[in-house]
C-alpha cells in the first residue's frame, strides 16, 4: 500500500498559477536511463528502426504493450467499471470532416511555427531557448522574434516571424485524391463522444450527470515532438467527457481534480512529483472555459500529465447549430431543456506509462553490486510473477516450474526463465518490475515447497506448491485495496 495521496488545493487565483511546491527534482536525473532500459528490455522501440526510424513514432515491444494495456485497464476500471455514472465508447478515428470545422480544430488547432532562413529548420516558437514560457499573446506578436533576439539553435540563422501551423493530419477517403474527399485523423477522441452524445444517452438511459469514456489513437503533426514518448505524432488518449447541468459545472470540475490526481498516486506516482497548474486566460484551448493540468516533474521539467477542462456548452452547442440535430437534454425533474456543459478529463496511456516507468525506477547497491528495479504497482507490472529453476539440468525441477507457471497463467501474466544463474534471473525480473519470483530447487522435490521472493524487499519465504497461486492472487488483491 502506498501512503494516502496528498493533493494541495487546486489553484483558483491567480490563473496560470502552479500550486507552490518545492521542486523535488525528477525521480530519474537522465531521460536516457529510461530510454535505454526501455529499448534493451523490450518496452519501447523506435518505429521503423531498420529504415532509420520515423520521427516521433514509437513501437511498444513485448513488455511495453503489457504495461500500456495494464495502464489502460487500470484507467477503465477506475473510470467505468467502478462507477455507475460513466459508460464506454469506441468511436472511429476518421470522422465526417465537418466535425473538425464545427469543433474549431480546422480554424484554431495550431501552434506557432518559425522557420530558419538559412537551414530551413522549423521550430515551435515557445520551445526555442529564450522563448520558453512565452505568453500566448506574445506568441502571436509578429515582432516577437526580433524583440527577443531569437536565432536558429542549429546554425544561428535568422528566424521568420511566427505563423500558425495546424496540427491535424489529413488524408483522403475513397479512390479520388481531391479536396472533397479530405478527411482528418482525429487529434482528440473527445469529438467522438460529443457526436454520439444522444446515441449513448438514449441507449444507456443515463441521467445527468453522466460520462462517456474512451481510449484510442489520436494524431497530431507536432512541430517539435520529443522527449521519447512524451510528445509523439501518433499516440493514445484516455479521455472522459462528463455531461452536467450548467449550474453544477464549476463544482463538478473541482471534484474531478483530486480524483484524477489520486489515480496516479494510487498506482504509485509519488505525490511530491505532482502538482496542479491552471491555464492562463490567453493559454486556454479554444474550447475551454477553464483548464487545470495535473503536472508531473519529468526529467525535463514540470509538464502536463493530464488536463481537466470545463468546456462549457461549446461542443454540444456548436454541433447542434451545425448539424441541425437537437442535442439538448430534457431534465424530467425540473422539466427543462438545455445543452449540458462538459467537464473533460484528458490523459493518455503513453504519457501515463512513461510516468509510471520513470517514477518506479530504483537504483541501489546490494552486496557491492548495482541493483536496478522498477517498483511498479503489481497491477501495472508486465509480468506478475516469474517461475525460475535453481538447476535447469534437473528435468523434475523444470517440470515442476512449468506446472506452476501453467497453473498461474490462466489468471495472470506468468513467465518461465532458465537462461542464466538464479542471481542474474532475479536481477532481470527486478529490472522489468516483476513483483514476485518463484524458485524451484532440489528441496522442492522433497518437501513440496518453493521460495517466493519479493521484488522490493528481496525477502524470501517458503510456501507449499499448492498454496503458491493463492498467495500471489491474495497479494495482487491486497495491492488493489
Ligand atoms: N480533448 C482534450 C485534449 O486533447 P490535450 O491536453 O491536448 O487535451 C490530452 O491532450 C492528453 O493527451 C495529454 O494530457 C496527453 O496525455 C495526451 N497527449 C496529447 N498530445 C500528445 C502527444 N503529442 N503525445 C503523447 N500524448 C499526448
Report residue 237 as a C-alpha cell. Answer: 488518449
CB neighbours of residue 411 within 10 Å = 12
Residue 149 within a domain: yes
**What separation in Å is there between the alpha carbon of 334 and the centre of ligand 1?**
37
Same domain, 300 and 184: yes
User: What is the pLDDT at residue 1?
Assistant: 40
Residue 368 within a domain: no
Residue 348: give its domain's CATH number: 3.30.930.10
Q: Of the residues 57, 219, 348, 352, which should be mutated to test ligand 1's pocket, given the most ligand atoms within 8 Å of the CB?
A: 348
Mean pLDDT of the chain: 94
The residue whose CA has the least distance to atom 14 of ligand 1 is 306
Residue 75 within a domain: yes
pLDDT tier at 179, thresholds 50, 70, 90: confident
User: What is the pLDDT at residue 140?
Assistant: 87
Average pLDDT of the segment spanning 172-192: 91
Of ligand 1's atoms, which has the minimum distance to the CA of residue 304? 14
Integer Cα distance of 428 and 146 in angstroms: 53
The residue whose CA has the least distance to atom 27 of ligand 1 is 231
Residue 9 within a domain: no
**What separation in Å is there between the alpha carbon of 347 and the centre of ligand 1?**
6
Same domain, 316 and 451: no
Q: What are the backbone dihedrals phi and psi of residue 155, each rounded to the nearest 5 degrees, phi first? A: -130, 10
Integer Cα distance of 228 and 53 in angstroms: 13
Q: Which domain holds residue 154?
A: 110-166
Q: Of the residues 47, 284, 307, which should be mutated to test ligand 1's pocket, given the most ligand atoms within 8 Å of the CB?
A: 307
**What separation in Å is there between the alpha carbon of 188 and the centre of ligand 1?**
8
Q: Is-contact 139 322, C-beta < 8 A?
A: no
The residue whose CA has the least distance to atom 11 of ligand 1 is 347
Domain count, the chain: 3
Report residue 29 as a C-alpha cell. Answer: 536525473
Q: Is-contact 262 88, C-beta < 8 A?
A: no
The residue whose CA has the least distance to atom 4 of ligand 1 is 188
User: Where among 151, 166, 181 does a domain terminate?
Assistant: 166
Give the position of cell 465508447: 89
Q: Could you read off the pLDDT of 227-279 as tens digits, one per residue?
A: 999 999 999 999 999 999 999 999 999 999 999 999 999 999 999 999 999 99
Q: Could you read off the pLDDT of 25-55 as tens digits, one per residue?
A: 999 999 999 999 999 999 999 999 999 999 9
User: What is the pLDDT at residue 137?
Assistant: 86
**What separation in Å is there between the alpha carbon of 110 and the centre of ligand 1?**
14
Residue 354 within a domain: yes
**What separation in Å is there between the alpha carbon of 438 and the centre of ligand 1?**
39
Of ligand 1's atoms, which has the minimum distance to the CA of residue 287? 2
Give the position of cell 488518449: 237
The residue whose CA has the least distance to atom 13 of ligand 1 is 347
**What separation in Å is there between the alpha carbon of 237 and the centre of ligand 1?**
6
Same domain, 280 and 297: yes
Q: Of the residues 223, 304, 315, 344, which should be mutated to test ligand 1's pocket, given the most ligand atoms within 8 Å of the CB?
A: 304
User: What is the pLDDT at residue 481?
Assistant: 83
Of ligand 1's atoms, which has the minimum distance to the CA of residue 346? 9
Q: Could you read off the pLDDT of 368-411 as tens digits, one per residue?
A: 999 999 999 999 999 999 999 999 999 999 999 999 999 999 99
Same domain, 472 and 426: yes
Among 328, 337, 333, smallest CA distance to 198 is for 328
99 against 7, higher pLDDT: 99
Residue 132 within a domain: yes
Integer Cα distance of 478 and 53 in angstroms: 42
Residue 174 within a domain: yes
Same domain, 234 and 303: yes
Percentage of the chain lying above the pLDDT 90 cut: 88
Integer Cα distance of 220 and 235 in angstroms: 8
User: What is the pLDDT at residue 4?
Assistant: 47
Among 218, 169, 167, 220, smallest CA distance to 190 is for 218
Q: Where does ligand 1 bind, in terms of residues with CB under 6 Å? A: 188, 190, 220, 222, 231-232, 235, 237, 239, 304, 306-307, 344, 346-348, 350-351
Of ligand 1's atoms, which has the minimum distance to the CA of residue 237? 12
Same domain, 339 and 447: no
**What separation in Å is there between the alpha carbon of 103 and the centre of ligand 1?**
16
Report residue 330 as a C-alpha cell. Answer: 430534457
Three-class HEC string of the chain: CCCCCCCCCCCCCCCCCECCCCCCCCCCCCHHHHHHHHHHCCCEEECCHHHCCCCCCEEECHHHHHHHHHHHHHHHHHHHHCCCCEEECCCCCECCHHHHHHCCHHHHCEEEEEEECCCCCEEEHHHCCCCCCCCHHHHCCCCHHHHHCCECCCCCCEECCCEEEECCCEEECCCCCCHHHEEEECCCCHHHHHHCHHHHHHHHCCCCCEEEEEEEEEECCCCCCECHHHECCEEEEEEEEEEECHHHHHHHHHHHHHHHHHHHHHCCCCHHHEEEEECCHHHCCCCCCEEEEEEEEECCEEEEEEEEEEEECHHHHHHHHHHCCCCCEEECCCCEEECCEEEEEEECHHHHHHHHHHHHEEEEEECCEEEEEECCCCCCCCCCEEEEECCCCCHHHHHHHHHHHHHHHCCCCEEECCCCCHHHHHHHHHHHCCCEEEEECHHHHHHCEEEEEECCCCCEEEEEHHHHHHHHHHHHHHHHC
Those residues with Cβ within 8 angstroms of residue 333's Cβ, 6 or more apart along the chain or in another chain: none
User: What is the pLDDT at residue 133?
Assistant: 79
Average pLDDT of the segment spanning 215-234: 95
Same domain, 185 and 306: yes
Same domain, 440 and 294: no
User: What is the pLDDT at residue 273?
Assistant: 97
The residue whose CA has the least distance to atom 8 of ligand 1 is 346
Of 2-16, 81-95, 342-356, minimum mean pLDDT range: 2-16
Residue 475: give its domain's CATH number: 3.40.50.800
The residue whose CA has the least distance to atom 10 of ligand 1 is 346
User: What is the pLDDT at residue 2?
Assistant: 44
Residues forming beta bridges with residue 418, ordered by sequence position: none
User: What is the pLDDT at residue 17?
Assistant: 62
pLDDT tier at 16, thresholds 50, 70, 90: low
Same domain, 174 and 76: yes
Of ligand 1's atoms, which has the minimum distance to the CA of residue 239? 1
Report residue 380 as a C-alpha cell. Answer: 501495472
Residue 204 within a domain: yes
The residue whose CA has the least distance to atom 22 of ligand 1 is 231
Average pLDDT of the segment spanning 156-181: 91
Q: Is-contact 468 406, C-beta < 8 A?
A: no
User: Where among 325, 358, 391 does a domain terminate?
Assistant: 358
Integer Cα distance of 59 and 229 in angstroms: 10
User: Where among 166, 191, 212 does a domain terminate?
Assistant: 166
Would strands 341-347 and 234-244 be described as parallel, antiparallel, or unpaired?
antiparallel
Same domain, 332 and 239: yes
Helix axes 468-480, 395-409, angle to 10 degrees: 40
Report residue 183 as a C-alpha cell. Answer: 478527411
Res 12 pLDDT > 60? no
Same domain, 86 and 128: no
**What separation in Å is there between the alpha carbon of 361 and the centre of ligand 1?**
24
User: What is the pLDDT at residue 178?
Assistant: 79
Among 45, 25, 26, smallest CA distance to 35 is for 45
Of 116-130, 184-198, 403-417, 426-440, minimum mean pLDDT range: 116-130
CB neighbours of residue 474 within 10 Å = 11
Of 278-282, 372-376, 423-427, minimum mean pLDDT range: 278-282
Res 19 pLDDT > 70? no
CB neighbours of residue 409 within 10 Å = 14
Q: Give the C-alpha distances (Å, rounded to integers) separating 7 from 11, 176, 242, 257, 442.
A: 11, 53, 22, 9, 50
Same domain, 314 and 423: no
Residues forming beta bridges with residue 276, ordered by sequence position: 294
Q: Could you read off the pLDDT of 108-165 as tens digits, one per residue?
A: 999 999 999 999 999 999 989 989 878 888 888 999 999 999 999 999 999 999 999 9
Amino acid at each position: 500500500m502506498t501512503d494516502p495521496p496528498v493533493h494541495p488545493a487546486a489553484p483558483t487565483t491567480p490563473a496560470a498559477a502552479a500550486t507552490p511546491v518545492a521542486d523535488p527534482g525528477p525521480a530519474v536525473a537522465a531521460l536516457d536511463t529510461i530510454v535505454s532500459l526501455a529499448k534493451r528490455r523490450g518496452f519501447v522501440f523506435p518505429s521503423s528502426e531498420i529504415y532509420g526510424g520515423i520521427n516521433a513514432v514509437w513501437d511498444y515491444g513485448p513488455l511495453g504493450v503489457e504495461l500500456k494495456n495494464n495502464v489502460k485497464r487500470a484507467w477503465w476500471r477506475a473510470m467505468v467499471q467502478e462507477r455507475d455514472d460513466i459508460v464506454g465508447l469506441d468511436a472511429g478515428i476518421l470522422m465526417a470532416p465537418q466535425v473538425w470545422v464545427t469543433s474549431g480544430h480546422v480554424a484554431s488547432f495550431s501552434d506557432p511555427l518559425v522557420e530558419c532562413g538559412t537551414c530551413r529548420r522549423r521550430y515551435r516558437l515557445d520551445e526555442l531557448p529564450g522563448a520558453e514560457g512565452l505568453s500566448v499573446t506574445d506568441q502571436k506578436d509578429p515582432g516577437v522574434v526580433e524583440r527577443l533576439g531569437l536565432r536558429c539553435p542549429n546554425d544561428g540563422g535568422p528566424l521568420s516571424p511566427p505563423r500558425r501551423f495546424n496540427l491535424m493530419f489529413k488524408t483522403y477517403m475513397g479512390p479520388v485524391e481531391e479536396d472533397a474527399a479530405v478527411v482528418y485523423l482525429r487529434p482528440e477522441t473527445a469529438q467522438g463522444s460529443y457526436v454520439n452524445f444522444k446515441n449513448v444517452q438514449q441507449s444507456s438511459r443515463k441521467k445527468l450527470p453522466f460520462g462517456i469514456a474512451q481510449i484510442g489513437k489520436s494524431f497530431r503533426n507536432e512541430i517539435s515532438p520529443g522527449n521519447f514518448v512524451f510528445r509523439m505524432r501518433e499516440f493514445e488518449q484516455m479521455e472522459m467527457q462528463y455531461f452536467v447541468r450548467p449550474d453544477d459545472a464549476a463544482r463538478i470540475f473541482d471534484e474531478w481534480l483530486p480524483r484524477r490526481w489520486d489515480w496516479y498516486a494510487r498506482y504509485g506516482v509519488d505525490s511530491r512529483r505532482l502538482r496542479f497548474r491552471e491555464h492562463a486566460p490567453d493559454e486556454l484551448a479554444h474550447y475551454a472555459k477553464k483548464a487545470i493540468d495535473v503536472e508531473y516533474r519529468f526529467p525535463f521539467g514540470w509538464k502536463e500529465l493530464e488536463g481537466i477542462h470545463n468546456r462549457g456548452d461549446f461542443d454540444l452547442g456548436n454541433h447542434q447549430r451545425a448539424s441541425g440535430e437537437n442535442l439538448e437534454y430534457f431534465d424530467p425533474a425540473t422539466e427543462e431543456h438545455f445543452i449540458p456543459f462538459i467537464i473533460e478529463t484528458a490523459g493518455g496511456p503513453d504519457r501515463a506509462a512513461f510516468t509510471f516507468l520513470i517514477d518506479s525506477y530504483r537504483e541501489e547497491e546490494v552486496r557491492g553490486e548495482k541493483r536496478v528495479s522498477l517498483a511498479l504497482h503489481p497491477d501495472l507490472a508486465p509480468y506478475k510473477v516469474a517461475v525460475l529453476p535453481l538447476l535447469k539440468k534437473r528435468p523434475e525441477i523444470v517440470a515442476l516450474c512449468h506446472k506452476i507457471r501453467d497453473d498461474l497463467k490462466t489468471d495472470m501474466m506468468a513467465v518461465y526463465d532458465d537462461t542464466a544463474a538464479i542471481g542474474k534471473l532475479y536481477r532481470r525480473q527486478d529490472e522489468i518490475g516483476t513483483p514476485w519470483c518463484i524458485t524451484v530447487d532440489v528441496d522442492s522435490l522433497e518437501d513440496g515447497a518453493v521460495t517466493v521472493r519479493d521484488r522490493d524487499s528481496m525477502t524470501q519465504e517458503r510456501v507449499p506448491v499448492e498454496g503458491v497461486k493463492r498467495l500471489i492472487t491474495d497479494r495482487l488483491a491486497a495491492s488493489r485495496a
